Amino acid sequence: VQLQASGGGLVQPGGSLRLSCTASGRTLTSLTMTWFRQAPGKEREFVAAIRRGRSTHFSDSVKGRFTISRDNAQNTAYLQMSRLEPEDTAVYYCAAGTDRLIVSSLDLVESYHSWGQGTLVTVSS
């Protein structure tokens, strides 16, 4: 499956952005879709995941501010980001994994077989 991430940009603190991850080559229906991010000089970190049954999981740093969703008809996953903070500045990557991923493995980079190219989010005044 090929993934295309989009929607990044410059936003002021407290603002909102919605990222999209569109798949081609395979339907998203049976996949776990996840967002990671990587800030300059830091390792890639888990942000949020949505599983086949639409259960969602978030890192503590974004819980309550970000939501993740999927539109199977559009073959697209979304990350809605609200109340953005400068610490959210990073390149955001979407990733796809099998529907058999267990909860404890959702935050592992090696759990995912397909990655998008990344989209930059900058939170600054």
Q: Which residues contact 84 (CB under 8 A, 6 or more apart)?
A: 11, 12, 13, 14, 15, 16, 17, 65, 121, 123
The pLDDT of residue 53: 79
The pLDDT of residue 92: 98
DSSP 27: -
What's the average model confidence in pLDDT over 53-79? 95
User: Model confidence over 10-65: pLDDT tens digits?
Assistant: 999 999 999 999 999 888 888 999 999 999 999 999 999 999 878 999 999 999 99
Rounded Cα gap, residues 12 and 124, in angstroms: 5
The pLDDT of residue 28: 86
The pLDDT of residue 27: 87
Q: What is the mean pLDDT of the chain?
A: 95
